[in-house]
Amino acid sequence: MARILVIEDEANIRSNLLRFVRLEGHEALEASDGDTGLQVAKEHLPDLIFCDVMMPRMNGMEVLAALQAEPSLKQVPLIFLSASAESERLEEALRLGASGYVTKPFNFAQLQAVLKQYLPK
């Protein structure tokens, strides 16, 4: 069982992601903004992070930069979730160290593929 952190400011999306994570048999951690998400990550050391890009207090790119600066969190795969499918934003996220990028609306098959790719067997 992996520990997965969901950082998402929209309550309905966060709730659906948490339900998905639990149905897949993993421990689900949550945060409603980037600043809280960073604190949860530092405290619980997740195996994977799903993170929205556009959030209050600290956006996803800022969360990624802060994670990259933490030795204990630098290797944790971070998958961005965003309604924006702009190729420039995707390229920037990957260049800065994100492991992947899923555009909203997403489906559970896409998320299952992410889990299969980034979690240990």
Mean pLDDT of all residues belonging to the chain: 92
pLDDT digits (tens, 9 = 90+) for 48-89: 999 998 888 899 999 999 999 999 999 999 999 987 766 677
Which residues fall within 8 angstroms of residue 42, CB to CB, at 6 or more apart?
70, 72, 73
pLDDT digits (tens, 9 = 90+) for 17-41: 999 999 999 999 999 999 999 999 9
Which residues fall within 8 angstroms of residue 36, CB to CB, at 6 or more apart?
7, 57
Residue 95 has a pLDDT of 87
- Give the global pTM: 0.94
* Closest C-alpha among 42, 50, 43 to residue 17: 50
Residue 121 has a pLDDT of 66
CATH code: domain 3-118 is 3.40.50.2300
